[in-house]
């Protein structure tokens, strides 16, 4: 086909595009994934029965805000990475903030306590299942994030895949927190982060092959 | 004559709002820009033309990813570079660039880098001596800014700023030269 013909054809297909198209596409994929993840959490694990009273504790909000802020910063990074030629370093650096804050909280909690208590703060009662459950609950979100990115234009597939994985992992962990009754910062900073990071690694590995356009 | 950033951006904004005439003008201008871009990088004219078309299609299907608050040409060249790298990765053809220059393909500002190579020495002569040396050492010999700073006895910031200004002056000069050529 001649290039002039192509230009005619493309001009014929022109439709107005919204300025918010990128965040909207991402929100659509993630929203659909979040619904599935939430339903899976509810049916498979169940919402913790003491949610109402837990919501009055700072430990509950620590988990809630840690995962939510990670998710929002990762969303912002993916939103940039989905656009050719847009810098995303600032957004990716922001991801470190919730992690550092929670690390400080965790060190404060384990500072000066007995060894047994320290172990308990770190291992809780569910450390053997927590990262796996987070990773599994993240999968629908992961599929949604990758679906969205496949409609957009990530020029750095490995970085974009990793960030999309962290995004799915963070919101998966946020949903898991409706079930999980652990309340210690050391536990969350280790096991939640591990689950989220695992999904990020999966995203980087897949991104290389899947995020082609 | 190559269309300027301001013109292209104005056309793109109208096109995003649904203006078909602006879109046609934009695609025609981009076709020309891209033809030059790929012709400089690929020996085989047919695959260069294929890439022009592929990139125009990508511009069309991914046009929503252009952030209207930013300049348009960096977006365009990022798309073009992605398509070029994708093409090279698939290994259908061999690039015309020598292996030693392959790093340039991954350089941040590729269009400028390719142009700069052309008359590099002549252009460098037009810069002040300290700036010229800094650019030579960091951009051509591949020293770090810290090493260049140590050699010239200036601070690292001074070297960095000097390089930035020098490169900008060079690219402005190149752009002038290029517009003259195209007339």
CATH number where B65 lies = 1.10.1740.10
pLDDT band at residue B84 under the 50/70/90 scheme: very high
What is the count of structural domains for chain B?
Answer: 2
DSSP string, B28-89: HHHHHHHHHHHHTTBS-HHHHHHHHHHHHHHHHHTGGGS-TTS-HHHHHHHHHHHHHHHHHH
Residues B65 and B142 in one domain: no
Question: Inter-chain contact B62–A153, Cβ cutoff 8 Å?
Answer: yes
Write down the pLDDT at residue B96: 54
Mean pLDDT of chain B: 80
Phi then psi for residue A182, to 5 deg, are: -70, 145
Mean confidence (pLDDT) of chain A: 95
Contacts of A85 in chain B (CB under 8 A): 70, 74-75, 77-79
Say which of B15, B23, B75 has its CB closest to residue A84: B75
B10 in the same domain as B50: yes
A15–chain B nearest CA distance, Å: 5
Q: Are residues B18 and B88 in the same domain?
A: yes
Contact A212 B81 (CB under 8 A): no
Judged on CB neighbours under 10 Å (0-12, 13-18, 19+), B153 is exposed
Cβ atoms of A60 and A47 within 8 Å: the answer is no
User: Could you give the C-alpha distances from A20 to A24, A25, A202, B13, in angstroms and in order?
Assistant: 6, 9, 28, 14
For residues B81 and B140, state if they share a domain: no
Q: Measure B139 CA to nearest chain A CA, in Å.
A: 21
Q: Is the pLDDT of residue B74 over 70?
A: yes
What does the pLDDT read at residue B91?
74
pTM (2 d.p.): 0.75
How far CA A41 is from CA of A38, A88, A192, A196, in Å, comes to 5, 32, 15, 16
Chain B positions touching A15 (Cβ under 8 A) are 18
pLDDT given for residue B177 in this prediction: 60
Q: Do B82 and B157 sit in the same domain of this protein?
A: no
DSSP A195: H
How far apart are alpha carbons A170 and A189 in whole angstroms?
A: 12
Q: Is residue B151 part of a domain?
A: yes
Tell me what the mean pLDDT of segment B157-167 comes to. Answer: 80
Residues B63 and B122 in one domain: no
CA nearest to B105, candidates B124, B86, B132: B86
- Residue A205 Cα, gap to closest chain B Cα (Å): 18
Residues facing residue B42 across a β-bridge: B95
User: Containing domain of residue B152, as a range?
Assistant: 113-182
Same domain, B88 and B23: yes
- Please check whether residue A20 touches B, CB under 8 A: no
ipTM: 0.88
* Same domain assignment for residues B59 and B131: no
Same domain for B63 and B14: yes
Strand-pair partners of B107: none
Q: Say what the pLDDT of residue B183 is.
A: 39
- Whether residue B119 sits in one domain with residue B88: no
Which CATH number goes with the domain that contains B153? 1.10.10.10
pLDDT in tens, A151-207: 999 999 999 999 999 999 999 999 999 999 998 999 999 999 999 999 999 999 999
């Amino acid at each position: 086909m001649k290039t002039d013909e192509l230009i005619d054809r493309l001009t014929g297909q022109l439709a107005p595009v919204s300025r918010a198209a990128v965040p909207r596409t991402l929100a659509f994929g993630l929203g659909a994934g979040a619904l599935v993840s939430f339903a899976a959490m509810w049916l498979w694990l169940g919402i913790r029965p003491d949610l109402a009273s837990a919501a009055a504790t700072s430990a509950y909000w620590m988990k809630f805000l840690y995962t939510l802020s990670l998710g929002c910063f990762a969303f912002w990074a993916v939103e940039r990475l989905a656009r050719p030629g847009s810098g995303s370093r600032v957004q990716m650096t922001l991801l470190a903030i919730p992690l550092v804050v929670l690390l400080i909280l965790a060190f404060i909690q384990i500072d000066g306590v007995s060894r047994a208590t320290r172990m308990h703060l770190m291992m809780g009662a569910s450390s053997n299942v927590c990262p796996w459950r987070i990773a599994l609950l993240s999968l629908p979100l992961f599929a949604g994030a990758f679906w969205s990115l496949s409609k957009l234009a990530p020029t750095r597939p490995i970085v974009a895949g990793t960030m999309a994985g962290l995004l799915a992992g963070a919101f998966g962990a946020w949903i898991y927190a409706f079930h999980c009754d652990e309340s210690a910062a050391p536990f969350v900073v280790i096991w939640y982060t591990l689950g989220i990071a695992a999904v990020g690694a999966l995203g980087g590995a897949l991104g290389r092959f899947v995020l082609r356009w | 004559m190559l269309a300027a950033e301001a013109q292209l951006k104005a056309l793109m904004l109208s096109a995003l709002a649904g203006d078909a005439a602006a879109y046609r003008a934009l695609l025609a201008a981009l076709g020309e820009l891209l033809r030059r871009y790929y012709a400089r990088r690929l020996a085989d004219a047919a695959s260069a033309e294929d890439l022009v078309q592929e990139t125009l299609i990508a511009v069309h299907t991914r046009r929503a990813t252009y952030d209207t608050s930013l300049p348009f040409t960096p977006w365009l060249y990022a798309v073009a570079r992605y398509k070029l790298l994708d093409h090279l990765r698939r290994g259908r053809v061999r690039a015309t660039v020598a292996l030693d220059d392959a790093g340039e393909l991954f350089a941040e500002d590729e269009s400028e880098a390719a142009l700069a190579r052309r008359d590099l020495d002549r252009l460098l002569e037009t810069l002040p001596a300290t700036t010229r040396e800094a650019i030579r050492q960091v951009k051509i010999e591949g020293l770090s800014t810290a090493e260049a700073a140590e050699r010239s006895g200036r601070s690292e910031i001074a070297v960095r700023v000097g390089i930035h200004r020098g490169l900008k002056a060079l690219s402005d000069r190149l752009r002038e030269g290029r517009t003259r050529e195209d007339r």
